[in-house]
Amino acid sequence: MKTIINKSYIVLLTFVLCFSGCMDFEPEDKMGDGQVWNSRDNFQLFANQFYGWLRDMQASDYQNGITDGVHSDFRSDLICTANENVYSMGTFTKPATDANYGTLYKRIYYTNLLIKNADEFGKKNVGAPLGEAYFFRAYLYFELVQIYGDAILLTEPLDLNSAKLVSPRDSRTVVVDQILADLDSAAVYLPDKPMEDGRLDKDAAYAYAGRVALYEGTWEKFHKSDLWQTGDVNTVSNSERVSTLLHKAITSSEQVMKRANYQLFSNATLGESSYRYLFILEDAAQCNPANVGKAANKEYIIKRRHRAGDRMALNVTHAMTNNIVYYTRKFANMHLCQDGLPIDKSPLFAGYTLPNDEFKNRDNRMALNMLQHGENYWTNDGKWRTTWTDADLANSLTNSATGNTGYHNKKWGVERQVTDNYESMDWPVLRYAEVLLNWAEAKYEYDGAINDGDLNRSLNLVRKRSNPKMTPLTNALVAANGLSMREEIRRERTVEFILEGMRIDDLKRWATAKTEMPMDQEGVLYNAWFEANWPNCPYAKSANGCVLLYTGRQWDDKCNLYPLPADQLQLNPQMEQNPGWN
């Protein structure tokens, strides 16, 4: 950690002026050393760099979204690739170095520097940039908590000889309390509405507090109970801290709901496909049948902004459309039927005789995220849409279920012609659908129940966007069919946020990774149709008769946290390694 502290304003200014990459709000190209902290504008110029630290769709330290990294769905149970993922398999080992650790603390230093100088300049005179500093300090510490658990809490830019730099880690309880306090402070100084597209406002602070409080409340509930140790997680009673955190999740999320500045994206022309096109809205409006662009999206509360002309490191469309993402049968089976029931309980389930049978009468998000057999699609590889009519079918590719797991992805793939690596979709760091589902889950975990009215103002709104005719989730439906309300709330979250970097963190906080992660990763049922049409399938078959990609998967509770890198432990032995990683 000693390497991340630098007291020189000269070096600091060099960092700000040379910061590059996908920074959303770039500082001015000239700012004198003596002017750093003498005006609100200069505070804002300094804070601009923070926006480049948000999670993104491309690989870049901890930030990744749809590529491999600490939050990636590739490290979960529902998606696999052609290559074995050691994190998903549970076979990863502790590293000698980990760039995430130093990067996060370096950035925390810069937020602390702004906050310290705001104290001297006058907080009210600084305003929004101070709110941004509080928010991003909270954001960075939450990354540390999710990745490593306990963390050394630094709330001021320390000198190199500070004893705090070689002290034991503070407990995650202390760190999370500071995170929530910082988000409360951020809400004080952030504007009521964004001053510019992509900037933070008060709703961003409230929504993120809802995420943090739900995460930590459920972590405490399912990881620190004697009942959890025996596996009986359904009857764990709330401790005072769990109740406090869950109540915070409820009230913070409810603030966003009541303020009504954000809403689910839904377009009359796009109809049930609004969910599909939400993720590929670009600066150019000609990217969907409704001819709407990003301005129509009021769902993204916190986003990593990409503009037309910005080059991405990841060739998004080619990577995501019928390519490296292999959905598992487990994920496919999670989609409900239109009567609101799982496939093992619904008379509407059409079975597996033909490859598209299982898509019939199902949650529409199954077909919005997955390519069906024989479906036409576009990849910008000489195949793209121009008219948004059936005429485009003449210039399309056709999907075949005979490959990979048999389940192929189309989420995040644009359909219009665009130069490789130049898609301009924003990445949803936190969207309004999550606020609604966070609120519903927190209500259920806090009270041990949730009434139908509360379901209708939260979870069922999210479901109805893509499924206007689906039977809503109600207590009567759950009781009549032997369902679990908790599991149905979790199911909705899983289906809604696939490929948005949430699944593995959810399994960890629910303490269900030890059950879910060791399961084999299976593909389609290899029945008579596949035997006839995919005779050279290279994969073994599971006991269930399915295509089998990965078996022998394992999970140890130590994997709920990443190990601290060896180089940091050498610098500060008092931090101590996370349990099980010695």
Choice between 227 and 151, residue whose per-residue pLDDT is larger: 151
Q: Give whole-number Cα distances, 445 to 179, 355, 490, in Å.
A: 21, 38, 11
For the ranges 52-61, 261-270, 309-318, the lowest mean pLDDT is seen at 52-61
Segment 450-472, tens digit of pLDDT = 999 999 999 999 999 999 999 99
Q: In this structure, is residue 246 part of a structural domain? A: no
Q: In this structure, is residue 391 part of a structural domain? A: yes
Q: In this structure, is residue 498 part of a structural domain? A: no
- Per the structure, the complete domain to which residue 339 belongs is given by 311-415+519-551
Residue 313 binned pLDDT confidence (cut-offs 50, 70, 90)? confident
Q: In this structure, is residue 445 part of a structural domain? A: no
| pLDDT given at position 226 | 42
Segment 506-535, tens digit of pLDDT = 999 999 999 999 999 999 999 999 999 999
Q: In this structure, is residue 322 part of a structural domain? A: yes
Residue 518: enclosing H or E segment and its boundaries?
none
Choice between 193 and 533, residue whose per-residue pLDDT is larger: 533
Choice between 3 and 193, residue whose per-residue pLDDT is larger: 193
d(CA 156, CA 422): 39
Q: In this structure, is residue 580 part of a structural domain? A: no
Other CB atoms within 10 Å distance of the CB of residue 43: 24
| pLDDT given at position 4 | 36
Q: Are 494 and 334 in contact (CB under 8 A)?
A: yes
Which two three-digit tokens encode residue 388?
Answer: 């948004």
Q: What is the mean pLDDT of residues 495-507?
A: 97
Give me the number of domains the chain comprises: 1
Q: In this structure, is residue 188 part of a structural domain? A: no
Other CB atoms within 10 Å distance of the CB of residue 161: 9
Segment 1-41, tens digit of pLDDT = 333 333 333 334 433 433 333 333 444 434 444 558 999 99
For the ranges 17-21, 294-298, 312-316, the lowest mean pLDDT is seen at 17-21
Choice between 328 and 32, residue whose per-residue pLDDT is larger: 328
Segment 403-445, tens digit of pLDDT = 999 999 999 999 988 888 899 999 999 999 999 999 999 999 9
Say if residue 171's pLDDT is above 90.
Answer: yes
Segment 359-378, tens digit of pLDDT = 999 999 999 999 999 999 99
Reduce the DSSP state of residue 62 to 3 states and report it: strand
Say if residue 100's pLDDT is above 60.
Answer: yes
- The percent of residues above 90 in pLDDT, for the chain, comes to 79
- Eight-state DSSP code of residue 547: E
The pLDDT mean for the chain works out to: 90
Segment 533-563, tens digit of pLDDT = 999 999 999 999 999 999 999 999 999 999 9
Q: In this structure, is residue 256 part of a structural domain? A: no
Q: What is the mean pLDDT of residues 252-269?
A: 98
Q: What is the mean pLDDT of residues 122-131?
A: 94
Evaluated on CA atoms 421, 424, 430, 431, the torsion sign reads negative
- The percent of residues above 70 in pLDDT, for the chain, comes to 90
- Eight-state DSSP code of residue 109: H
| pLDDT given at position 525 | 98
